[in-house]
Amino acid sequence: MKHMTRKATPHVNQNEGLIFEKSSAGKAAWKLPPLDVPDVDAAELLGTAERKDLGNMPEVSEIEIIRHFTRLSTWNYAIDLGMYPLGSCTMKYNPRVNEAVARVEGIANGHPYQPEKISQGALRILKTLSDCLIEITGMDAITLQPAAGAHGEMTGLLMVRAYHQAQGRPRKKVLIPDSAHGTNPATAAMVNYSVENLKSNAQGMVDVSALAAQMNEDVAALMLTNPNTLGVFEQEIHKIADILHAKGGLLYMDGANMNALVGKVRPGDFGVDLMHLNLHKTFSTPHGGGGPGSGPVAIKKKLEPFLPKPVLMTKADGTFGFDYDRPQSVGRVRAFYGNFGMFVRALAYIQANGPDGLRQTTEDAVLNANYIRKGLEGVYDLPYSTPSMHEVVFSDKVQAKKGVRTMDLAKRLIDYGFHPYTTAFPLIVPGALMIEPTESESKEEMDLFIEAMKSIAEEVEEDPQTVLDAPHSTRVSRLDETAAARKPILRWKPAL
């Protein structure tokens, strides 16, 4: 409590109702130019398909809309306000030049079907970004089509299936460590693979002997996050790859934690056959309150025939185009070519960094995580003493004795002016506190974070109720999630 105002001070913020509650007939925030063609009678053109009424759509003025959304925005925490240490989410700074270049006329307004001749600018961006990502991952080819990480996983497993099918049979199952993200098993199910759980060893890494025992010719692939969700680099990665490859299986890497590796080590060099990247994590495109993302999948040569179509190609005259003639392709996973606006931002990020900047970024991300680990060791339980890369996972074991759990600690952290870490994940750590500071935090900000976490630990000892009731300084206190789920209210309705 004594350190509470070092980072944050409560201040007045505006109340604001739902936009529908501000609406009244005749207000407008729009104006159309006069029609330069003859007006039409909609009833005549559309007949019974004509819509007469737009129900409860709002009618408000422009200033009300500006105030409405500005007020709402002030109720959010954001990277722009401070440290956002969500483990596995890589909440790093989102550079503003990325936003500026994504809005340049020909880039923002290019139509996906405009002729190739006048699309060379967009295609060159695709090509340049592809080349950079292939080099960064050490792979041979890439598709940018998937719209997010989980979509990339699906695309990857479709290629795994197609690859095995081409060898004679698709195989039956995918091995997934118990520390994996929930998207991994959900994706395997979408591609009709059964999921076999792989237990972690005492160091939080893949149990290599268990893997060897479980590996057989029914296994299509292992989906491995590296560094894993404990922030631990799989030191025996070469043995893991060898075990997979010896029985014809493929090593899929979930690249969610690529921020720990860029410029320091390349998955393609340690035996990975295919992997997805999250441009919205490692490559700084904004999370935007939950999206959009982008989940390119980088692959080794042997998987190239199975890439989703179309595939970007360089023609004999040096111009770029799309190749649709891909008989072994897994097909299309999305209309058009992917989240192009995110490619623009990711490329601008790579350009702003260059090889030296990307390496320094990775080093700083790992430095920051280890600094926090050092600062909080002994205060919070560290279930795995294996060295950390870009994130560190503690548990609430000590505080749980006082009845305070990871979610309570997280809620109290809000009062100190920080966004919480990731709670209760990975599943192999009961009561996990998963902390990923990223490279974007200064030493001062992290010192404040460490101080806040220590102060909360003291509060747990002295006055646990304060922590259990947190947050105290937000505009709403803890919300009743059970009621929300039991009788869902998923939309506004006018009062009768």
Partner 1 sequence: MRYLPKSPGDRETMLKAMGLHSTDDLFVQIPAEYRLNRDLKIPRQMAESEIVDYFRQRSRENGEGFTSFLGAGAYSHYRPVIIDSLISRGEFLTAYTPYQAEISQGTLQSIFEFQTMICELTGMEVANASMYDGSTAAAEAVMMAVRLTGRRSVVVARTLHPEYREVLATYATHQGMPVSIANFRDDGRVNVEELEKAITSETAAVLIQSPNFFGTVEDVRAVAELAHKQGALLVVSIAEAVSLGIVEPPREADIIAMEAQSFGVPLGFGGPYCGVIATREKFVRQMPGRLVGQTVDKQGKRGFVLTLATREQHIRREKATSNICTNQALVALMVNIFMTVYGKVGLKELAKQNLAKTAYAAAQFAKHGKLLFTAAPRFNEFVISTSEDPYAINSRLLGHKVVGGLPLKKFYPELGNAALWCCTELTTRSAIDTAVGLVAESERSVRSAKDESDVEEEVTQ
| DSSP conformational letter for 435 | E
Q: Give the residue carrying structure tokens 């009743």.
A: 480
Answer yes or no: are the C-beta atoms of 279 and 291 closer than 8 Å.
no
Residues 13-16: contacts with CB under 8 Å, at least 24 apart:
13/71, 13/74, 13/75, 13/475, 14/67, 14/71, 14/74, 15/71, 16/67, 16/68, 16/71, 16/72
Answer yes or no: are the C-beta atoms of 284 and 95 closer than 8 Å.
yes
Task: Determine if 115 is a binding residue for partner 1 (CB under 8 A).
Answer: yes
Task: Determine if 201 is a binding residue for partner 1 (CB under 8 A).
Answer: no
Residue closer to partner 1 (CB basis): 248 or 263: 263
Buried b / exposed e over 237-248, threshold 16 CB at 10 Å, is bebbbebbeeeb
Residue closer to partner 1 (CB basis): 242 or 364: 364
Task: Determine if 299 is a binding residue for partner 1 (CB under 8 A).
Answer: no
Span interacting with partner 1, options 208-216, 395-403, 453-461, 476-484, rule CB under 8 A = 476-484
Task: List the one residue from 6, 140, 166, 263 that touches partner 1 (CB under 8 A).
Answer: 263
| DSSP conformational letter for 49 | G
Task: List the one residue from 68, 276, 300, 402 that touches partner 1 (CB under 8 A).
Answer: 68
- Hey, which residues between 304 and 363 contact partner 1 (CB under 8 A)? 308, 330-342, 344, 348, 350-361, 363
Tokens of 480: 């009743």
Residue closer to partner 1 (CB basis): 116 or 461: 116
| DSSP conformational letter for 328 | T
Task: Determine if 287 is a binding residue for partner 1 (CB under 8 A).
Answer: yes
Task: Determine if 465 is a binding residue for partner 1 (CB under 8 A).
Answer: no
Task: Determine if 478 is a binding residue for partner 1 (CB under 8 A).
Answer: yes
Task: Determine if 403 is a binding residue for partner 1 (CB under 8 A).
Answer: no
Give the pairing type, strands 250-254 and 219-225. Answer: parallel
Span interacting with partner 1, options 102-110, 211-219, 392-400, 457-465, rule CB under 8 A = 102-110
Residue closer to partner 1 (CB basis): 344 or 401: 344
Residue closer to partner 1 (CB basis): 375 or 464: 375
User: Strand, helix or coil at 26?
Assistant: coil
The residue count for binding partner 1 (CB under 8 A) is 197
Task: Determine if 136 is a binding residue for partner 1 (CB under 8 A).
Answer: yes
Residue closer to partner 1 (CB basis): 461 or 469: 469
Q: Give the residue carrying structure tokens 């309705």.
A: 493
Length of the chain: 496
Residue closer to partner 1 (CB basis): 121 or 401: 121
